[in-house]
Amino acid sequence: MKKRYLGIIPVMVLSMGLAAFAQEYDYEKKDYWYREAEALQSFSDYDTMEDLFAALGAADAGYSVDAYINSHMGEMMMDDCWHYVEWSDPMDEELLDYWENYAGGIRKEMHHVGDEEFEWASYVPMSAYEEANADKTYPVMVVCRGGDDPKYTAECFGFVHHAAETQEYIVVIPTDRDPDAVQRMLDELKADYPVDESRIYVTGNSMGGVQALANGWAYPEVFSAVVPFGIGAQSNMEEDALEKVEEIKMPMFYLYGSMDCYHSFPITECAMKEVNDGVREINELLAANDCVFEELTVEEAEDLVENSDDYIKKMTGMNFTETWSEEREDTTYYFGEYCTEDGQSMYRVAIAENGTHWHSPSYPELIWDYVSQFSRNTETGELVIAQ
């Protein structure tokens, strides 16, 4: 991948981009934004996906749900979500058939049905059922739902689609995101499915991102990378977990939408925690992962937000050693990264231009491209990096 380094990118670019999107833009599944969604109504005050996404962006940053819907980004998002509107029953036979025939196909199964606390869903590539792949094992992506949402909502985050397209990994979505419950789920998965136990990753949105962190810190020897999105750069790591990460390391990838309704990077008016705590956590995690970096201070973070000409440094208040941008089909992504002395990335942040508090459509591909290089020695927990 060729890296393109950034110069001055004013924040006004974002509102200009949305203004450009605001004109009418038609596509096949656009009407699903405005249909009543029973699955959504079952747990929230929102009637439609339009209602939900109206609440997921920050108006003070220039967000407009109409502009979002009338964009190619909105079209790609509805490609990820339309089935959620079409079928309110997460085990509808037509929905199961849709998944088995989507791209290379993926088989959805529910486990512990009726157990509202522990029920979980698995999505296994159809290639795993082919005789030619009888001895093949598959990495696992644990996807944690956001907030108090049912696990079915996490089916909209694009990972199931991406796994069906690539046939490269299994997706599991737990109801109970507590670390011990997730380990119980993984034990059951490993007993019944062809799991590559050296390559298990955990991701999640919003509170699911916080739970992804909790799982990574509770069982760092199990997970080969942790990828929260929609939570800024918090780590919430206790001292004992920090010591374990110092020993066996933990690759990190944070993703965030530029229009996210929750401003949760270190320096914002509505930070999810005190600025000095956020800065301290960043420094601790970078040091634990042997990154080469200049220790961030509150004063420097504030200065970067106020004065930096580098877009992602200005957005995050973080003094990355490398920054670049990439044009993807849905939008432009801005990256910041910290690496070890030998150039290995261990801490990455990506911001999706015009992205909201949910995922942006390229998240699964970006995440898989990054985490798939990492595995663990299942006996020692040592991190192994593909060359």
Place of tokens 């050296």: 198
Query: What is the band of 357 on the pLDDT scale with cuts at 50, 70, 90?
Result: very high
Residue 323 has pLDDT above 90, yes or no: yes
Place of tokens 């593909």: 386
| Main-chain dihedrals φ then ψ at residue 208, nearest 5 degrees | -65, -30
Query: What is the band of 10 on the pLDDT scale with cuts at 50, 70, 90?
Result: very low
Average pLDDT rounded to a whole number, residues 364-373 = 98
Average pLDDT rounded to a whole number, residues 365-379 = 98
Average pLDDT rounded to a whole number, residues 310-326 = 96
Average pLDDT rounded to a whole number, residues 336-363 = 97
Average pLDDT rounded to a whole number, residues 269-296 = 86
Identify the pLDDT of residue 67. Answer: 97
Identify the pLDDT of residue 276. Answer: 81
Identify the pLDDT of residue 12. Answer: 33
Task: Render pLDDT for 16-34 as a digit per residue (tens, 0 to 9).
Answer: 445 444 689 999 999 999 9
Q: How far is CA 168 from CA 37, 94, 126, 145, in A?
A: 31, 24, 10, 21
Dihedral of CA atoms 66, 72, 78, 80 in degrees, nearest 10, equals -140
- DSSP result, 65-106: HHHHHTSHHHHHHHHHHHHHHH-SSTT-HHHHHHHHHSTT-E
Q: At 222, list the tokens.
A: 């199990």
Residue 387 has pLDDT above 90, yes or no: no
Identify the pLDDT of residue 267. Answer: 67
Q: 12-374 adopts what CATH topology?
A: Rossmann fold (3.40.50)
Count of other CB atoms within 10 angstroms of residue 163: 26
Average pLDDT, the chain: 92
pLDDT more than 90, % of the chain:
86
The region of weakest confidence among 249-253, 259-263, 333-337 is 259-263
Task: Render pLDDT for 94-141 as a digit per residue (tens, 0 to 9).
Answer: 999 999 999 999 999 999 999 999 999 999 999 999 999 999 999 999
Q: At 323, list the tokens.
A: 């920054």
Identify the pLDDT of residue 277. Answer: 84
Task: Render pLDDT for 71-82 as a digit per residue (tens, 0 to 9).
Answer: 999 999 999 999
Task: Render pLDDT for 47-92 as a digit per residue (tens, 0 to 9).
Answer: 999 999 999 999 988 999 999 999 999 999 999 999 999 999 999 9
10 within 8 A of 315, measured Cβ to Cβ:
no
Beta strands in 60-194 (DSSP E): 106-111, 120-125, 138-144, 170-174
Task: Render pLDDT for 212-260 as a digit per residue (tens, 0 to 9).
Answer: 999 999 999 999 999 999 998 889 888 999 999 999 999 999 999 999 9
Q: Number of helices (H) and strands (E), helices first, in the chain?
A: 14, 12
Q: Find the helix packing angle between 93-101 and 72-86, rounded to 10°.
A: 140
Beta strands in 39-184 (DSSP E): 106-111, 120-125, 138-144, 170-174
Query: What is the band of 265 on the pLDDT scale with cuts at 50, 70, 90?
Result: confident
Helix %, strand %, coil % of the chain (to 5):
40, 20, 40
Predicted TM-score (pTM) of the model is: 0.93
